[in-house]
Amino acid sequence: MIQKIKALRNNMAFNITAVIVLILAAFAIVVSVVGILKFLDAFDAEYSNTTYHIADTAASLVNGDHIEEYLAGEQTEEYARTRRILNAYCNRMNVSLVYVIKVDQSDYESFVSVFNAVDNSVDNSHYEEWELGHPRETTNDEYREAYREIYENESPFEIIYRLNPGQGLRPHITMIVPIDNDEGKVSALLCVQRPISELASVILSFVSYIIIASLVLVLVVAQFVVRFLRKWVVKPIRKISIEATRFAKENTKGEELGDVSKFEEIYNLSRSIDKMETDMVWSTISTI
């Protein structure tokens, strides 16, 4: 077994083939990684943009002038109608949560619920619907900064990625957009929570396709290149080597190598061997 391995390591055809396959594999890996990264950037941007439009549309369904009235306990027909619409919208748009909150702007540490539409069938989560006025502490600093950006710096939206949310929750993104009143001031925030499972499945499918396509391409190109080099490089050189070894041992004229290869260097070498054999044989005959 060891001798076979050593023989392969010293075999020109094997080494050329191995180098070609490694180069093609490395090239395929680089191209695949670049392609995947570009795809991820483009798809992430599109996914975020789509989620923003979902949130922005939902925000337009809420009357920003009546937030304080809702929280004061005035559950009017308008409130009930908006709640029904948001519930239907949440189910139709295939998102986990669509909720409206009023944040405590003194420190952004807490908020109260205004609307809360839940669809646990999207990612098999177990969210409980918050009642009107339900108090809640802000999840983390990232959310606090997002709220601050919208309230104080008039950011049109903020997006938060939660890849490991914990508490049995699924990875998701939260898109946060402002709800303005007639004076153009932010009266509440609308948040859309969308699972990343859809994003992950598309990415996995794309990556699998790229890997399979790259492997097939490497095998096809490698086979073509190896056959070409074997025919026009490896076999001609092997033939020249065998003839040179034979002539060194027997010192007799053998069969002419002829045009063993289309490459000039190998062709000239074969013609030189033929000429050397002819010259040396005639030189030997002349000295007899």
Domain ranges of the chain: 14-37+203-287, 60-195
For the cut 90, the answer to whether the pLDDT of residue 8 exceeds it is no
For the cut 60, the answer to whether the pLDDT of residue 24 exceeds it is yes
Band of pLDDT at residue 259, cut at 50, 70 and 90 = confident
Gap between the Cα atoms of 77 and 60, Å rounded: 18
For the cut 60, the answer to whether the pLDDT of residue 7 exceeds it is no
pLDDT for the residue 171: 79
Fold of the 60-195 domain? Beta-Lactamase (3.30.450)
For the chain, the average pLDDT equals 82
pLDDT in tens, 28-38: 788 778 877 78
pLDDT for the residue 1: 62
Where do the H-state alpha helices sit in the chain? 2-9, 12-59, 67-71, 77-92, 141-153, 197-229, 235-250, 264-287
For the cut 80, the answer to whether the pLDDT of residue 82 exceeds it is yes
Do the strands 110-118 and 186-195 form a parallel or antiparallel pair, or are they unpaired? unpaired
Closest C-alpha among 176, 172, 138 to residue 157: 176
Of 66-75, 150-159, 208-217, 255-264, the least confident: 255-264
Rg over CA atoms, the chain: 37
Q: What is the mean pLDDT of residues 180-202?
A: 85
Q: What is the mean pLDDT of residues 95-100?
A: 93
pLDDT for the residue 30: 83
Q: What is the mean pLDDT of residues 132-152?
A: 94
Q: For residues 191 and 176, is the Cβ–Cβ distance under 8 A? A: yes
For the cut 70, the answer to whether the pLDDT of residue 6 exceeds it is no
Q: What is the mean pLDDT of residues 211-227?
A: 80
For the cut 60, the answer to whether the pLDDT of residue 288 exceeds it is no
Gap between the Cα atoms of 264 and 74, Å rounded: 93
- Which of 60 and 236 is assigned the larger pLDDT? 60
For the cut 80, the answer to whether the pLDDT of residue 100 exceeds it is yes
Band of pLDDT at residue 126, cut at 50, 70 and 90 = confident
For the cut 80, the answer to whether the pLDDT of residue 117 exceeds it is yes
